[in-house]
Structure 1
């Protein structure tokens, strides 16, 4: 009879987590559980939808004459994304990201912040750090170069929290990497029947 093995401690629930942003070129944190410090800035409260790490891949299949299934597949596009909704829409780093405006241009004058949105936005790449925590386990994602390439509509309504919903596309660094993973997960136990 087949022995089915299961280990609950090898699962991951995004029970808690956070996100930070810094200028491109900012190094990854030396310790994943250390509190990020300047130049890292918190994105603040993230909606209870959490963080979505996405893959967008396309491939080309090569099927030889006389066969009905491919004998080779070549990946032609592989894009990594992170999606989240930030709720602290008045936090300066969040406003800076959403509107592609330097934080210095958002500084209040006499208590009032004024800015204009351009009809010709320019690229706005930044470094990102995301941490997902589940008890003693965690997953960290360092994005050396990322940019918000999708923004949702923002709703201002009495019974709904306003938020900025983003999809961040990752770009390769000088080493050709888009995302660096730092995970603390329990060791997989040996199969008792092996």
Structure 2
């Protein structure tokens, strides 16, 4: 009889989590258990949809004459993205990300009024990003050393809906050629008892 090994604690549910951003070049917090500090600024409340880790890949298949299936495949595109909706739209860090404006330019005047303008020619706004996903004792951390909001969705201001900034963040390669660094706290995989 076949012995099927299962362990419920090895599955993951995004029960909780968070996101932070910092200037490009800021080192990773390194451990999902450690509260990011220093230059790391929180994104705050994220919608119940949580964090979406995206994989966008294309490949080229090479099928030799006389075969009907390829004998080699080459990856021609490999993009990593993270998607989320930031609900704390009044948080200075979040507004800075949404409108590509430096946080210092969002300081209120002596009357408490903050004014800013959106440019028709936005410049790149690359930042470092740190995301964590928590499920009890299972924790996953994703460090993006250089990423940018590449897509923004419309913002609804309605009586029966929380306004949110929905972003897709594209990870770019760092000097080592890496786009995302992982730091996981996971339970040990049970020993396989099959033959």
Q: Could you tell me whether the CA contact under 8 Å between 2:31 and 2:141 is conserved in 1?
A: no
Quote the residue 1:188 is aligned against. 189
Measure, in 2, the Cα distance between the counterparts of 1:31 and 1:74: 34
Quote the residue 1:81 is aligned against. 81
* 1:58 equivalenced with 2:58 (yes/no): yes
Describe the superposition over 1:124-163 as per-residue Cα deviations: whole angstroms up to 9, x where unpaired. Answer: 0000000111111100000000000000000000111100
Q: Could you tell me whether the CA contact under 8 Å between 2:20 and 2:130 is conserved in 1?
A: yes
Distance 1:161 1:190, change over 3 A: same
Measure, in 2, the Cα distance between the counterparts of 1:14 and 1:160: 23
Q: How many residues were matched structurally?
A: 194
Quote the residue 2:166 is aligned against. 165
TM-score, normalization: structure 2?
0.97
Q: Secondary structure of 2:113's match?
A: coil
Q: Secondary structure of 2:157's match?
A: coil
Unpaired runs of at least 5, structure 1: none
Offset of 1:30 from its aligned partner? 4.3
Measure, in 2, the Cα distance between the counterparts of 1:92 and 1:130: 19
Task: Report the RMSD for the aligned CA atoms in angstroms.
Answer: 0.9
Mapping 1:110-149, distance limit 5 Å: 110-149=111-150
Unpaired runs of at least 5, structure 2: none
Quote the residue 2:43 is aligned against. 43
Quote the residue 1:13 is aligned against. 13
Measure, in 2, the Cα distance between the counterparts of 1:66 and 1:193: 40
Offset of 1:192 from its aligned partner? 2.2
Measure, in 2, the Cα distance between the counterparts of 1:165 and 1:137: 26
The ranges of structure 1 where at least 4 consecutive aligned residues each deviate by more than 2 angstroms after the TM superposition are none
